[in-house]
Amino acid sequence: MIRRAAEPPDQLAFPFAPVPRTGDELLSALRPMGLARIRTCTLTRNRRVMVSWTGDTLRVHAGYCRAPAEVWAALVRFVEGRTRAERAAGRAALLAWPLPADAPVRRRRLASTHPDDAAAQARLAAEHARLNAERFGGALATIPVHLSRRLARRLGHYAPAGDGAPAEIVIARRHLRRHGWAAALETLLHEMVHQWQAETGRSLDHGRDFRAKAREVGCAPRATWRGPA
């Protein structure tokens, strides 16, 4: 059960409160404020996606370690809020707080497509546009779709914009070659549901919102392909 965020302890507002130096230290400071669902916290330098979580893993821009107690409380509301309005209020407060000017920007490494796979990548881009129009009413942004020869453990993945890089979808070339276009397009649609999550302010996970949207657009709400090898 998601618990409502508690009021921040008074001592966190004191100017001499220690500044967390690691994700674990920040997590220890947030737990008394009601952060219950998170087990792991990682500090980042991403200025475009400043707070995000998947499952029980939280990613937070390191600049928030120096934020006042009310901003930490907003972070807890963003993650633990029981209603969309409560989460939206927490998100607004997080975005309103200016990050320290000296926080450096780290650039995420972009995926790339082998020149020999250019035709397949072009088809994936066209299929993204078609599925966007047919299944999402054209609401999704046009983003790069790469065919990767390096992606071995996963069939595909969606990376939200951040670390100085745009959002992108990557499909494993091995998956396309082994399972064919029908399976690859189902994976593409799966990743587009994650794109919808990111663009509508939802967390990137396979929870209730994901499963409902997947069924709505005609995508099996699972992350692995179980067809013939």
Question: What domains can you pick out in the chain, each with its CATH number?
Answer: 10-96 (3.30.2010), 115-217 (3.30.2010.10)
* Residue 100: pLDDT over 80: no
Instruction: Tell me what the mean pLDDT of segment 53-70 comes to.
Output: 85
* Residue 4: pLDDT over 50: no
Instruction: Tell me what the mean pLDDT of segment 10-36 comes to.
Output: 71
**Is-contact 24 42, C-beta < 8 A?**
no
Query: In terms of Cα–Cα distance, which of 1, 6, 5 is closest to 81?
Result: 5
Whole-angstrom Cα distance, residue 8 to residue 201?
Answer: 25
Whole-angstrom Cα distance, residue 206 to residue 193?
Answer: 10
pLDDT of residue 162: 62
Query: In terms of Cα–Cα distance, which of 222, 202, 226, 225 is closest to 211?
Result: 222
94 residue type, one letter = L
Instruction: Tell me what the mean pLDDT of segment 204-220 comes to.
Output: 88
Listed in sequence order, the residues at least 6 apart from 44 whose beta carbon sits closer than 8 Å to its beta carbon are: 59, 60, 61, 62, 106, 163
| Helices 118-135 and 181-199: angle between axes, nearest 10 degrees | 60
* Residue 125: pLDDT over 70: yes
Q: For the chain, what percent of residues have pLDDT higher than 70?
A: 81
Reduced to 3 states, what is the DSSP secondary structure of residue 44?
A: strand
Reduced to 3 states, what is the DSSP secondary structure of residue 185?
A: helix
Give the DSSP H or E segment for 93: helix 84-96
Give the DSSP H or E segment for 220: none
Whole-angstrom Cα distance, residue 198 to residue 4?
Answer: 23
180: confidence class by pLDDT, cuts 50, 70, 90: very high
pLDDT tens digits, 65-93: 888 899 999 999 999 988 888 888 988 88
pLDDT of residue 191: 94
pTM: 0.56
Most confident of 8-12, 110-114, 157-161: 157-161
Instruction: Tell me what the mean pLDDT of segment 133-154 comes to.
Output: 91
Name the pairing type of β-strands 57-61 and 40-44: parallel
With vertex at residue 122, the alpha carbon angle to CA 121 and CA 127, rounded to the nearest 5 degrees, is 95
Instruction: Tell me what the mean pLDDT of segment 94-118 comes to.
Output: 70
Place of tokens 């709505």: 216
Q: For 66, which DSSP code?
A: G
Instruction: Tell me what the mean pLDDT of segment 181-195 comes to.
Output: 95
pLDDT of residue 132: 97
**Is-contact 217 195, C-beta < 8 A?**
no
